[in-house]
Structure 1
Amino acid sequence: MERVNSRVVYQNPWMVVREDEIRRPDGSPGIFGVVEKPDFALVMPRWRDGFWLVEQFRYPVGRRAWEFPQGSWGRGGSGDQAALARRELAEEAGLRAASLAHLGHLFEAYGFSTQGFDVYLAEGLAEGEPDREASEQDMIHRAFTDQEIARMIRSGQIVDAPSLAALTLFQLQLSSGTFSAS
């Protein structure tokens, strides 16, 4: 596919939405709506029997749900993704990690968005106080066992696609013997 023309149809400090005119390989014209957002880091805080999760209200879907701590540097911000993972872990859950392992890079919704994310496993956790942003003021955090997390997925309490994809990466690493479950 070849981009023929592109125009920004909306932007704010967190995203740019553009409309691209394209030419398909057969020469026929087409159009794509593309959401540009900065990549984010998702961190899986592992404790002995499971993971720490955060719960917050997600305005676009109008509900609260549990997920792994995650966030981006924001528009114009930049830095090392591992440092971002450590910042999000401390900010959202008040946790510090002795070790951080990169599990992979995925895309959140590559059918319409450029945004990707890096998944990190955090171990050797020390608890502290969260330092949340104003938009996270209703956030709560707590530890769950692996069995509780499985039940929460089945019951629809965990519906965040990046969190579910991160769990898949973790399970693949675990089954390959790359690391133990602590």
Structure 2
Amino acid sequence: MEPTIRTVSSRVVYENRWMTVREDRIERPDGSRGIYGVVEKSDFALVIPAENGGFHMVEEYRYPIGRRTWNFPQGSYPDRRAGAPEDLARHELAEETGFRAGTMTPLGYLHCSHGTSTQGFHVFLATDLEAGETAREPEEQDMRQRFVTREDFKRYIRDGAITDDSSLAAYTLLLLHEEAQGLRATPQN
């Protein structure tokens, strides 16, 4: 399928080890021209560590929004490297929570900000968890971890303690997976 917006030219306006920001000059289907800013970032893995009717979540200070929030463990390979999504998911789970998963079930792939970024993420359900030591990065030194019930999870969303769109989208994939497996009667649970 041919793209409906044609790239006329492209230039990198900023780059570091985590991202590239480029500005593209574009031509729309009607022939009018414009610019498009695009953030290129590597895909990441997000893990839902589930057991005993709830989830293990992490909380940390998020500099861009200036506050602490809860989310499922997630991260990307350093220096925009590529690698197997499940390996990355297992690494992030152990690094942030200390847990090792006996079973890692892929739930799907989503884009997190498809209007501005190339980045997407693979979602995994981690079960058969075994506790271990964390190995957090320096940026994660203020990270906290907590087990939350499903009711707590929903309350956190309502109260604004979870604002991470990737965690909320991953939860939707989990509900769809459970529904397909006959594990939950309806997606509202």
TM-score scaled by structure 2?
A: 0.93
* Residue among 122, 132, 137 paired with 1:133: 137
Q: Is the 8 A contact 1:53 1:69 kept in 2?
A: yes
Alignment of 1:1-182 (within 5 A): 1-177=5-181
Q: What CA deviation, in whole Å up to 9, does each residue of 1:5-28 have, x standing for no partner?
A: 000001111110000000111111
Whole-angstrom CA distance in 1 between matches of 2:11 and 2:96 = 36
AA paired with 2:103?
S
Structure 1 gaps of 5+ residues are: none
Superposition RMSD on alpha carbons, in Å?
Answer: 1.3
In the TM superposition, what whole-angstrom CA distance separates every residue of 1:91-111 from its partner, at most 9, and x where no partner exists? 000000000011000001000
Structure 1 letter corresponding to 2:111: F
* Residues 1:180 and 1:86: Cα distance change in structure 2 (over 3 Å): farther
Contact 1:45 1:125 in 2 (8 A): yes
Identity within the alignment, %: 54
Letter in 2 for 1:158: I
- How many residue pairs align between the two structures? 181
Q: 2:60–2:143: 8 Å Cα contact kept in structure 1?
A: yes
CA distance in 2, matches of 1:151, 1:61: 21
Deviation at 1:3, TM superposition (A): 0.3
Report runs of 4+ in structure 1 exceeding 6 Å deviation: none
Q: What stretches of structure 2 of length at least 5 have no aligned partner? A: none
How much has 1:112 moved relative to structure 2?
Answer: 0.5
Q: Which moved more, 1:72-81 or 1:134-143?
A: 72-81
| 1:163 shift after superposition | 0.2
Partners in 1 of 2:77 and 2:183 — Cα distance?
29
* Secondary structure of the corresponding residue to residue 176 of structure 1: helix
3-state SS of 2:21 partner: strand
Contact 1:51 1:145 in 2 (8 A): yes
> Equivalent residue of 1:41, what SS?
strand
